[in-house]
């Protein structure tokens, strides 16, 4: 399994949220989901694959037109050194990739995403009303948006730079696209997207908007952007999108099984640490550029060997703190350490903390849904002195969570979630509760 994964710029939870809220037709959401899932099986970065990047002396990038279809890379339209094509999507991608390659070359001394000058293959006009952009391991791919919520994804130069940074990460630290390492993978892409945008606009870290995907929404959507690195959780609040779910501090870290463990959600925490570091370091240096200040520190950490596939927040913080000391001395080191501490991350151990052992004597029940949308929870430790233990133990011994017949949830009816001594969680709609499950729920929820 590759450590990179396929990054989709619009996270799956947001697509589904939009689908639920009627912003995209169900057919379109399904179509997009199918494409995304096919892509995961269509990786083409194996060296023997015909689309594997060539190392050409002259053409460092090539933009292709998929013509609304989903075959990659599509028809070649414009290469490095060629004049404008007249097609807005093609020319926006050309401008974006030129600026991105220039930043990596001039600021970080890096030749393309692999560090060896690989040609960058880009594809625009991908799919039908495709509301996303992604890197599949070989191609940077951009849809034209659905026109109702999303505009074409080539409009925003930070989208392209975000996807390109996934390619850099895949060839360097290889942060696994899951949990904390996945949130770091996402954050690093936002970091270099913001650096690129500010560099293109000639802004300092103090002047930058720190908004990611500012240009992707059509008029009338209540969204300043897709993410706000400086103020995570405030980028959008719209009836069709829901509300920006990003936390800004470890206290609010979101534990979820969706979105590969919340990679697009918890990236808000390291994103804010970067902004705090970039502003502080920018204030100490002439020009105050994020790309050349904190950006260089993050780049050194990402590529320096101490960050690997399973690096978690605290270890990444330690790597950036060490990189700050190497490049800027004690003053920069302190700034970076304080930035991480302000978001609740203490620079420290090098590896992801192991997952806690399953609570194999713990029984949990919760009830959610219902018209008011409230959740009640109950739990019982079978090793405790609680008087309910004998009765609960008897029920747990009888219940087989794997053998339950369950139908679809019904509007406004309750849904119960059971976790029995490390088994589950299993969700059961109210109408499908067995007698034993009802009794167990009554026992555990009675004191709440």
Residues 13-72 touching Zn ion, rule: CB under 5 A, are none
Cβ closest to Zn ion, residue 7 vs residue 191: 7
DSSP string for 77-115? EEETTPPP-S-HHHHHHHHHHHHHHHHHHHHH---TTTS
In the chain, how many H helices and how many E strands?
11, 14
Cβ closest to Zn ion, residue 100 vs residue 189: 189
Total residues contacting Zn ion by CB under 5 A comes to 2
Q: Which residue is nearest to Zn ion (CB)?
A: 7
Spatial contact of 264 and 242, defined as CB atoms under 8 Å apart: no
| Minimum distance, C-beta of residue 133 to Zn ion, in the bound complex (Å) | 9
Q: How far is CA 43 from CA 20, 31, 38, 165, in A?
A: 30, 19, 9, 17
Q: On the CB side of 339, how many CA atoms lie within 13 Å of its CA?
A: 29
User: Using the rule CB under 5 A, is 172 a contact of Zn ion?
Assistant: no
Residues 373-412 touching Zn ion, rule: CB under 5 A, are none
Cβ closest to Zn ion, residue 191 vs residue 230: 191
| Minimum distance, C-beta of residue 68 to Zn ion, in the bound complex (Å) | 24
Cβ closest to Zn ion, residue 165 vs residue 324: 165
Which residue of 123, 154, 169, 189 would you call a contact of Zn ion, by CB under 5 A? 189
Q: Which span sits near Zn ion by CB under 5 A: 1-9, 10-18, 282-290, 308-316?
A: 1-9
Can you tell me whether residue 171 is helix, strand or coil? helix
| Minimum distance, C-beta of residue 177 to Zn ion, in the bound complex (Å) | 9
| Minimum distance, C-beta of residue 314 to Zn ion, in the bound complex (Å) | 22
Cβ closest to Zn ion, residue 138 vs residue 189: 189
Which of the residues 163, 186, 197, 215 is marked catalytic? 163
Which of the residues 264, 292, 332, 419 is marked catalytic? 264
Report long-range pairs for 14-23 (Cβ below 8 Å, ≥24 apart): 14/241, 14/242, 14/264, 15/131, 15/132, 17/241, 17/242, 18/149, 18/240, 18/241, 21/239, 21/240, 21/241, 21/242, 22/240, 23/148, 23/149, 23/240, 23/241
| Minimum distance, C-beta of residue 165 to Zn ion, in the bound complex (Å) | 8
Spatial distance between the Cα atoms of 45 and 160, rounded to a whole number of angstroms: 19
User: Using the rule CB under 5 A, is 7 a contact of Zn ion?
Assistant: yes
H-helix or E-strand containing 13? helix 12-20
> Which residue is it, tokens 């130069």?
157
Q: Which span sits near Zn ion by CB under 5 A: 6-14, 122-130, 317-325, 435-443?
A: 6-14
Is 163 known to be catalytic?
A: yes
Q: What residues line the site for Zn ion (CB under 5 A)?
A: 7, 189
Enzyme catalytic residues: 163, 264
């Amino acid at each position: 399994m590759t450590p990179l994964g396929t990054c989709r710029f619009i996270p799956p939870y947001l697509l589904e949220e939009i689908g639920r809220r009627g912003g995209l037709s169900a057919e379109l959401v399904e179509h997009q989901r199918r494409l995304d899932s096919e892509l995961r099986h269509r990786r083409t970065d194996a060296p023997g694959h015909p689309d594997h990047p060539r190392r050409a002396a002259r053409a460092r990038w090539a933009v292709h037109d998929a013509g609304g279809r989903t075959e990659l890379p599509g028809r070649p339209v414009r290469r490095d050194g060629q004049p404008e094509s007249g097609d807005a999507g093609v020319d926006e991608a050309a401008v974006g990739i030129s600026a991105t390659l220039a930043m990596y070359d001039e600021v970080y001394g890096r030749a393309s995403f692999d560090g060896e000058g690989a040609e960058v293959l880009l594809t625009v006009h991908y799919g039908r009303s495709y509301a996303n952009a992604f890197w599949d391991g070989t191609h940077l791919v951009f849809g034209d948006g659905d026109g109702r919520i999303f505009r074409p994804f080539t409009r925003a130069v930070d989208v392209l730079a975000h996807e390109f940074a996934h390619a850099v990460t895949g060839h360097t630290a290889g942060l696994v696209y899951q949990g904390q390492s996945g949130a770091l993978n996402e954050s690093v892409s936002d970091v270099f997207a913001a650096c690129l945008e500010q560099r293109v606009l000639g802004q300092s870290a103090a002047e930058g908007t720190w908004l990611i995907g500012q240009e992707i929404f059509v008029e009338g959507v209540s969204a300043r952007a897709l993410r706000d690195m400086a103020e995570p959780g405030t980028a959008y609040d719209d009836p069709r999108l829901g509300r920006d779910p990003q936390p800004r501090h470890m206290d609010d870290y979101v534990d979820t099984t969706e979105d590969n463990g919340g990679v697009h959600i918890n990236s808000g925490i390291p994103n804010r640490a970067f902004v705090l570091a970039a502003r502080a370091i920018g204030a100490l240096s002439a020009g105050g550029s994020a790309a050349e200040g904190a950006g260089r520190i993050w780049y050194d950490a990402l590529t320096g060997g101490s960050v690997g596939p399973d690096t978690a927040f605290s270890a990444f913080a330690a790597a950036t703190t060490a990189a700050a000391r190497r490049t800027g001395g004690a003053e920069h080191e302190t700034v970076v350490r304080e930035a991480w501490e302000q978001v609740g991350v203490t620079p420290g151990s090098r590896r992801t903390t192991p997952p806690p052992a399953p609570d194999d004597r713990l029984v949990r029940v919760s009830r959610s849904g219902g018209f008011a949308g409230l959740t009640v929870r109950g739990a019982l430790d079978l090793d405790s002195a609680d008087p309910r233990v004998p009765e609960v133990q008897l029920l747990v011994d009888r219940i087989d969570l794997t053998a339950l017949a369950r139908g679809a949830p019904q509007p406004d009816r309750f849904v119960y979630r059971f976790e029995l001594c490390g088994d589950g969680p299993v969700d059961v709609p109210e109408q499908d509760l067995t007698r034993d499950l009802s009794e167990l729920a009554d026992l555990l929820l009675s004191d709440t």
